[in-house]
Amino acid sequence: MRVQGYEILWQNLRLGRDELDVVVRQGDVLVVVEVRHRGEG
């Protein structure tokens, strides 16, 4: 994301019981990313 001009603001940000995986900014735009992974089987 840094290569594409995004500034990483937070990783694994805890808000009470919730967690945001990645929060980035590009100019005036904030992007919140939730990463999910499915195991095989």
pLDDT tens for each residue of 4-38: 889 999 999 999 998 999 999 999 999 998 887 77
Centre a 10 Å sphere on the Cβ of residue 24 and count the other Cβ atoms it contains.
19
Q: In the prediction, which pLDDT does 37 show?
A: 76
**Is the pLDDT assigned to residue 39 strictly greater than 80?**
no
Q: In the prediction, which pLDDT does 26 show?
A: 92
Helices (H), the chain: none
Q: Where are the domains of the chain?
A: 1-36
Q: Which two tokens stand for residue 37?
A: 């992974």
What is the pLDDT confidence band of residue 41, given thresholds at 50, 70 and 90? low
